Homo-oligomer: A and B are copies of this chain.
């Protein structure tokens, strides 16, 4: 078994309202960043897991996203990187 460090990005699906992103955009305008447009706020997870090889780690993390980490109705997830930890 090898230890892998996996980075995952989970973002609200395009087209859905993102209230947190809207709040951040408004706050940036208030601070004077007038050129800021759309802001989307998602989650960035970094997790360590043991697996036989990289593809096994990737498959396992995909199942974690589907079962717990991402909301399948409102969010998209993307496995950004899988590296030896």
Contact = CB atoms under 8 A, between A and B. Distances in A.
A43 B44 contact: yes
Copies assembled: 2
A78 B21 CA distance: 18
Contacts of A54: none
A49 B36 CA distance: 4
Interface string A47-71: 1111100000000100110011100
A27 to B, nearest CB: 6
A17 interface: no
A69 B11 contact: no
6 contacts: A9-B44, A31-B64, A35-B50, A36-B47, A37-B48, A42-B45
